Amino acid sequence: MSCLFYCVRRHPGPELSGSLLGVGGRPVYQVARRGLSAALSEIGRADLAPDIPKIRAYERVVLSYHHRGAVVPMRYGCVVEQESQAIQLLEEHGPRYEALLIELDGCVEMGLRVLLPSRPWAAVIPGGPEARREVAGPCPPDPAAPPDRLGLTYLTARKAHYASQDRWTTEYRQAAQRCRDQFAGLYVKCTTEAPSPRLPLLSLYFLVRRPVVESFRQAFRQLAENEPARLLLSGPWPPYNFVTAGISLLEYPT
């Protein structure tokens, strides 16, 4: 039977009181190597399809370990075919896990959602050296218009469209910067998820040291009083958004 992979932590670490049950009510156990341990539970591939009870059970396990020390959390669906593969991952990626545990030690993740005003727009989506544009595009020219006006009308519409796009991109970047400025000195790292053309929702994730969580919440309340956009703060959570994709997904199919 396959094993669902929850997180990596230091070994030996603080013990959990009582037995810990994971997805499907199966016991969670640990395998160790190189001073690290991986939290696993058995699961059949047919039982892996996510639903709310499974996701909540998975999160409870990660939170249980996170409350007792630094963890490298995995995304739901990270699976190894057998325990030996988890041990091999600890062996091969041990230095990377250890470096992450040092960076994440004593920290939690706070999430901030910013609902921006809705309008027709197209965003520049960061994705490498050359950004990719997702563009709805201006309305096509009216074929009934005089021939000498078709090109001018179309070019004018394109110019207005891209000007609107650029204004929107500037606005959401400015909103993100205002948020970061509000929390200056209260976070270790921040990562930003840009809004999509279909949902004007800006997401920011902050890596915050546990002792300043309440100060972070207070800064959020001040921000909410002054920021015109609608805001939602969540957390503290395990630092899912500060684990690199290669480590989080284990390079195994989900």
Contact 38, 73 (CB under 8 A): no
pTM: predicted TM-score of the whole model, two decimal places:
0.76
pLDDT at 197: 64
Residue with tokens 């593969």: 85
Same domain, 140 and 84: no
| Ranges of H-type helices in 67-207 | 83-104, 147-182
Share of the chain above pLDDT 90, in %: 56
CB-neighbour burial class of residue 252 (10 A; exposed 0-12, middle 13-18, buried 19+): middle
Same domain, 75 and 113: no
CA distances from 140 to 27, 134, 145, 217, 225 (A): 60, 17, 11, 48, 42
Same domain, 121 and 57: no
Q: Compute the residue count for the chain.
A: 254
Same domain, 133 and 167: yes
**pLDDT tens figures, 43-85:** 988 888 999 999 999 999 999 999 999 999 999 989 999 899 9
**pLDDT tens figures, 88-140:** 999 999 999 999 999 999 999 999 999 877 554 443 333 333 334 444 444 55
User: Among 71, 89, 105, which residue terminates a domain?
Assistant: 105
**Which residues span the domain enclosing 234?**
109-240
Contact 10, 32 (CB under 8 A): no
pLDDT at 194: 80
